[in-house]
Amino acid sequence: MEIRYKSTRDDRECVTASQAILQGLAGNGGLFVPTAIPKLDIDVETLAGMSYQETAYAVMSRFLTDFTEQELKDCIRQAYDSKFDTDEIVPLVEADGAYYLELFHGATIAFKDMALSILPYLMTTAARKNRIKNDIVILTATSGDTGKAALAGFADVPGTKIIVFYPKHGVSPIQEKQMVTQKGANTFVVGIHGNFDQAQTGVKQIFSDRAFAEEMAKAGFQFSSANSINIGRLVPQIVYYVYAYARLYARGAIQKDEPINVVVPTGNFGNILAAYYAKHMGLPIAKLICASNENKVLYDFFATGIYDRNREFVLTSSPSMDILISSNLERLIYHIAGDDTAKNAALMRQLTEEGRYAITEEMRQRLSGFYGNYTGEQETAEVIRSLYEDTGYIIDTHTAVAAGVYRKYRRETGDENTKTIIASTASPFKFTRSVMNAIDGAYDSRTDFELVDELSRIGKVKVPNAIEEIRDARVLHDVVCEVDEMQSVVKGFFGIG
Ligand SMILES: *Cc1c(COP(=O)(O)O)cnc(C)c1O
């Protein structure tokens, strides 16, 4: 079955998978969604015998139907290789009655590597297929992890350039150092005086500026996106849910077709949307548990049916989830509106104009597969400390937000028996200071890299390569700008205007 991609805001816009990946964002600020969600139609016994790469092909080939078998297999082989520090690619670790799906074994030690390791290959293949002559300029807003993962993925990839905007005062010290030390002649990193939402809105504005796009085209460039608004990010993320389910079956932890829960620490709603797509492909998922930090706009949305971003933006110890405009929620809204572009577009217009919208009762009923809750700052620290004290296992702050919500879910619903996967989205080494302070406040006086070594010692985990690399690395990027200067900074990089 051929799957095409249509805009969430305009029925007339419908393209192939490779075109959707190249374009990133649909017209009118819409996002591309598949015209149908393909069925998985492979039984779990077969899946249980597959490697990560084979599972990736089984899932992705059903969505990216205009890629040839050879093209897709080449992309997968080059993406999921020794950049990952384990052959399993995503190990599943059992601790305290849950299964932690470690999505952080790639080059930059956050789950963004799962998709951004393959996106550059998908993008360059898509450019070849569509006979694109321009260089592709990847414009990315990051709350901390996408930036580095995209930089690492696209650095020195011929025919591409990558520009990353990050909130200068909204990322962890390790995250910032990872980005500003990035090598590669085609990489640009810019701090903004603003938060992630402002970075993301600024990038979307640049995308929708037709005149600017024409100027860029004359100079031989065209924009695309490495944010999770790109369907080329979402599809690779479906893979690990399927793979994890098959691993649980292979271990004898679940019976054939036994439903499981999935808990996802959520920001831009990309990761959990991938789990939603996995469920709609036929993977037996009982509850999709959406975990927020104190920026709990999604928790409120699931509780009331009202999305309201008019609130204070809180800087937390889980900065990659400090987001009030969860872009990918638009794809869910479109689906629960009955794949209705007009209804969705009207709600998104309200979000832009008033900062809020309410969904109908009928739409709310279609959210029954979700459970939402949030974990406060103190609880997050408490979860890290108690899990460490009880089991010796150390998780990062984002994963701890998810584990905290899972505790609440169990208490509130009494559902103790459904096997549950918690998406573990970052290595604790990426948020060392917050993690170590949670374990013992006395650590606060130490330097970042002293804490790295101490974390390695008490957690009995080797310091990841991604951290060793930046210990003594030189800062190569120091551009900082105001939010309203983002476009002129981009122009400056290309000598335009
Ligand atoms: C990006 C990120 C998240 C949030 O994922 P979304 O797909 O944006 O919901 C959670 N944890 C970490 C560590 C991240 O980098």
pLDDT at 208: 86
Burial of residue 491, with CB atoms counted within 10 A of its CB: 0-12 exposed, 13-18 middle, 19 or more buried: middle
- Report the distance separating Cα 131 and Cα 111, nearest Å: 31
Among the atoms of ligand 1, which is closest to the Cα of residue 144?
15
Distance 2 CA to ligand 1 centre (A): 30
Position 204 confidence tier, pLDDT thresholds 50, 70, 90: confident
In this structure, which residue's CA is closest to atom 2 in ligand 1? 320
Mutation to probe ligand 1, out of 116, 240, 271 (largest number of atoms < 8 A from CB): 271
Q: Tens digits of per-residue pLDDT, 282-324?
A: 999 999 999 999 999 999 999 999 999 999 999 999 999 999 9
Among the atoms of ligand 1, which is closest to the Cα of residue 145?
15
The answer to whether residue 447 scores a pLDDT higher than 90 is yes
Distance 111 CA to ligand 1 centre (A): 7
Can you read off the two tokens belonging to residue 353? 């104009």
Mutation to probe ligand 1, out of 176, 266, 321, 434 (largest number of atoms < 8 A from CB): 321
Residue position matching structure tokens 């999921």: 80
Q: What values do phi and psi take at 20, rounded to 5?
A: -65, -40
Q: Tens digits of per-residue pLDDT, 88-105?
A: 999 999 999 999 999 999
Distance 270 CA to ligand 1 centre (A): 8
pLDDT at 191: 97
Query: Is residue 218 flagged as an active site residue?
Result: no
Position 264 confidence tier, pLDDT thresholds 50, 70, 90: very high
Position 392 confidence tier, pLDDT thresholds 50, 70, 90: very high
Closest by CA to 365, choosing from 330, 331, 338, is 338
Distance 321 CA to ligand 1 centre (A): 6
Pocket of ligand 1 (CB under 6 A): 110-112, 145, 228, 265-271, 320-321, 398, 425-426
Mutation to probe ligand 1, out of 103, 111, 240 (largest number of atoms < 8 A from CB): 111
Mean pLDDT of 104-115: 96
Domain range list for the chain: 92-109+232-464
Q: Tens digits of per-residue pLDDT, 205-220?
A: 998 899 999 999 999 9
What's at 420, amino acid-wise? T
In this structure, which residue's CA is closest to atom 14 in ligand 1? 320
Distance 177 CA to ligand 1 centre (A): 19
Mean pLDDT of 248-266: 98
Lowest-pLDDT choice from 100-104, 371-375, 445-449: 445-449
The answer to whether residue 496 scores a pLDDT higher than 90 is no
Sheet order of strands, 285-292 included: 92-95, 98-102, 420-424, 260-265, 285-292, 370-374
Residue position matching structure tokens 């205009």: 66
- Report the distance separating Cα 293 and Cα 285, nearest Å: 23
Among the atoms of ligand 1, which is closest to the Cα of residue 111?
15
pLDDT at 228: 85
Distance 426 CA to ligand 1 centre (A): 8
Distance 78 CA to ligand 1 centre (A): 24
The answer to whether residue 451 scores a pLDDT higher than 80 is yes
- Arithmetic mean of pLDDT over the chain: 96
Among the atoms of ligand 1, which is closest to the Cα of residue 426?
13
Fold of 92-109+232-464: Rossmann fold (3.40.50)
In this structure, which residue's CA is closest to atom 8 in ligand 1? 268
Q: Tens digits of per-residue pLDDT, 146-195?
A: 999 999 999 999 999 999 999 999 998 899 999 999 999 999 999 999 99
In the chain, the largest separation of any two C-alpha atoms, in whole Å, equals 62
Position 495 confidence tier, pLDDT thresholds 50, 70, 90: confident
Mean pLDDT of 337-350: 97
- Report the distance separating Cα 260 and Cα 406, nearest Å: 13
Closest by CA to 348, choosing from 324, 332, 330, 335, is 330
- Report the distance separating Cα 206 and Cα 496, nearest Å: 14
Annotated catalytic residue, options 39, 73, 83, 112: 112
Position 393 confidence tier, pLDDT thresholds 50, 70, 90: very high
The answer to whether residue 497 scores a pLDDT higher than 80 is no
Among the atoms of ligand 1, which is closest to the Cα of residue 265?
10
**To the nearest whole percent, how much of the chain has pLDDT over 90?**
95
What's at 345, amino acid-wise? A
The answer to whether residue 341 scores a pLDDT higher than 90 is yes
